[in-house]
Amino acid sequence: MSKGTYSFTTPIYYVNAAPHLGTAYTTVAADTVARYQRMNGYDVAFVTGMDEHGQKVADTAAGKGMSPQEWCDSMEPAFRDAWDMLNITYTDFVRTTEPRHARSVQKFWQDLYDKGYLYKSSYEGWYCVHEETYYAESDLEKNEDDQFVCPDCKRPVQLMASGEENWFFKLSEFQQPLLDFYAANPDFIRPETRRNEIVTFVEGGLKDLSISRSTFDWGVPLPFDEGHVCYVWADALLAYITGVGYADPEREGEFERRWPMQYHFVGKDITRFHCVIWPAMLMAAGLPVTGTVFGHGFLLTKGEKMSKSKGNALKPADLCAVFGVDAYRYYFMSDVQFGHDGSISLERMVQVYNNELANTWGNLCSRVFNMTKKYFGGQVPEVPAEFAGAENPLAEVAAGLYAKYDECMAKVDFTGATAAVQELAGAANLYVEQQAPFRLAKDPEKAGELAFVMYNLLEAIRIIALYMAPFMPNTSAEVFSRLSLGEIVGLTDIEAATAWGQLPAGNAVETGDPLFPRLDVDAIDMDVE
Ligand code: MSP
């Protein structure tokens, strides 16, 4: 029986550039949650997509000599292919130019208009097209040419002339409701440092937000004033509700069932949109607010945020070609603590790969599968009756694992979750050393003990494969196949499935190639953009 719904999102990515390590990071994290919570009995909705409107995308398309729609259409395969390559199991991929999304946007803002939360007024101020964000003059910085520049990306900002009439959302009315909401829901913004930033920002006062533009037309027209298109953020955030069936006659009842969501996973640079504007929009609409906005950190190379313009960008496909998709996923999830900035490097990636995958998890499988072949003709041995209830350190480690792992996964501490699984792999490697099956095998009187030890090792491998599956789905499927076990995908009770002693005696065990052949960093030749 399902434990209920578990729903979450990545950001809806701008289509001015192809997916990169940063966007792949959030998407892999969300997929790890999706895969785990399915195995944990939840009915999962995992929404991702493309943010296609706004001036930045229109400008990019113009620069390519294409219409915005043509440009966006041409980018869809880049995103879908990247997510397929990384084994991402999203449940909806929302393109903000789809008619179903326009329907959500129009329904939502019509509702706020009807409720009196919108008014028309002229706007004078500054706008950064790259960030698609309005700034007060007091927030701006100046460059060497004495031009005002964006405080975030340092590019010159545009003056939005008065005379352009905009629709405004009465965001200022939500200052106190938001502060009350943050106080009553301490988990709404995580990690804690981001929460403090947001509370301070809102305490400083909120201005009403311009939600429409009339000087260009690349956006969703507002139903009550068709000469205006929706501001790109006032459109994109609503992809989260489109993705679970809001205003969709073909998905009746789904939105009510799946909303509110558990999580929005976002980078720390866009937490303000998600923690201030978005909950205020939802409150105005009378809809419940998402459980947690989790603002993860940036991936840094040599201490700097990775970007093409800095020439320090590694590409997901290149890394996957060297390490394999599973090791790629494992590295980013285990080594960069979700919520903190993390320095990444090829050297470190090789180190984690060799230590934790080749030498620990991969080596355990090779040794144990080979010994099974040698001592038991490649079959899982039966545990002799006299060993039932015998001291079993691996069973003990495994017994405490679900609680530890589940707690980490619920709070998206992937580093903690992988460390907990690696404890069992480490314990199993130690057990090989201590029990020394290769010595037991030489003594016919120890045949029973040998069977007991080997069964325990194979069973530990089965359990590790289950817990590793959300991180490294291909490898776990491979291990299951070598143990002649069925599919992991589709399993809905990981707690029951990881209870000790379920590996059937007599199952054929295949040895196969090493799961993670060791890598030498000096032999890797890779371009950095
Ligand atoms: N379209 C908006 C989001 C709208 S959501 C309703 C947007 N798109 S984006 O394509 O720019 O998304 C970028 C996402 O990738 C952000 O969450 C950002 O934090 C993340 N990253 C971009 N570079 C990054 C790193 N170097 N490291 C980690 N994540 C970073 O913003």
Predicted confidence (pLDDT) per residue in 351-365, tens digit: 999 999 999 999 999
Q: What is the position in ligand 1's atom list of the atom closest to the CA of 307?
A: 26
Minimum mean pLDDT among 105-114, 136-145, 199-208, 219-228: which range? 136-145
**Would 4-124+161-296 and 346-497 be classified into the same CATH topology?**
no
Ligand 1, atom 7: closest residue by C-alpha: 13
At 126 the pLDDT is: 87
* Rounded distance between C-alpha atoms, residue 194 and residue 280, angstroms: 18
Is the pLDDT at 529 greater than 70, yes or no? no
**Residue 22 or 309, more confident:** 22
Average pLDDT over residues 23-29: 97
CB of residue 236 inside a 6 A radius of ligand 1: yes
At 302 the pLDDT is: 76
* Domain boundaries along the sequence of the chain: 4-124+161-296, 346-497
Residue 213 β-bridge partners: 229
* Rounded distance between C-alpha atoms, residue 379 and residue 372, angstroms: 6
At 133 the pLDDT is: 87
Predicted confidence (pLDDT) per residue in 500-527, tens digit: 999 999 999 999 999 999 999 888 877 6
CB of residue 299 inside a 6 A radius of ligand 1: yes
CB of residue 132 inside a 6 A radius of ligand 1: no
CB of residue 72 inside a 6 A radius of ligand 1: no
At 132 the pLDDT is: 86
* Cα–ligand 1 centroid distance for 441 (angstroms): 56
Percentages of the chain per state (helix, strand, coil), in multiples of 5? 50, 15, 35
CB of residue 270 inside a 6 A radius of ligand 1: yes
Average pLDDT over residues 22-39: 97
* Cα–ligand 1 centroid distance for 438 (angstroms): 52
Taking Cα atoms as reference points, which of 403, 380, 399 lies closest to residue 456?
A: 380
Is the pLDDT at 306 greater than 80, yes or no? no
Predicted confidence (pLDDT) per residue in 86-116, tens digit: 999 999 999 999 999 999 999 999 999 999 9
Is the pLDDT at 384 greater than 80, yes or no? yes
Which CATH number applies to 4-124+161-296? 3.40.50.620
CB of residue 12 inside a 6 A radius of ligand 1: yes
Distances in whole angstroms, Cα of residue 520 to Cα of each of 246, 325, 336, 517: 50, 18, 22, 10
Pocket test of ligand 1: the residue of 20, 26, 47, 263 to mutate, having most ligand atoms within 8 Å of its CB, is: 26
Average pLDDT over residues 260-276: 97
Mean pLDDT over the full length of the chain: 94
Structure tokens at 385: 């009756």
Is the pLDDT at 245 greater than 80, yes or no? yes
Asked if omega into 260 is within 30° of 0 (cis), the reply is: yes
Classify 346-497 by CATH class: mainly alpha
Is the pLDDT at 7 greater than 80, yes or no? yes
* Cα–ligand 1 centroid distance for 313 (angstroms): 15
Q: What is the position in ligand 1's atom list of the atom closest to the CA of 299?
A: 27
Pocket test of ligand 1: the residue of 50, 275, 298, 304 to mutate, having most ligand atoms within 8 Å of its CB, is: 298
* Cα–ligand 1 centroid distance for 300 (angstroms): 14
Ligand 1, atom 12: closest residue by C-alpha: 13
At 246 the pLDDT is: 98
CB of residue 305 inside a 6 A radius of ligand 1: yes
Q: What is the position in ligand 1's atom list of the atom closest to the CA of 300?
A: 26
* Cα–ligand 1 centroid distance for 127 (angstroms): 19
Q: Do 232 and 53 touch, CB atoms closer than 8 A?
A: yes
* Rounded distance between C-alpha atoms, residue 334 and residue 311, angstroms: 25
Q: What is the pTM of this model?
A: 0.95
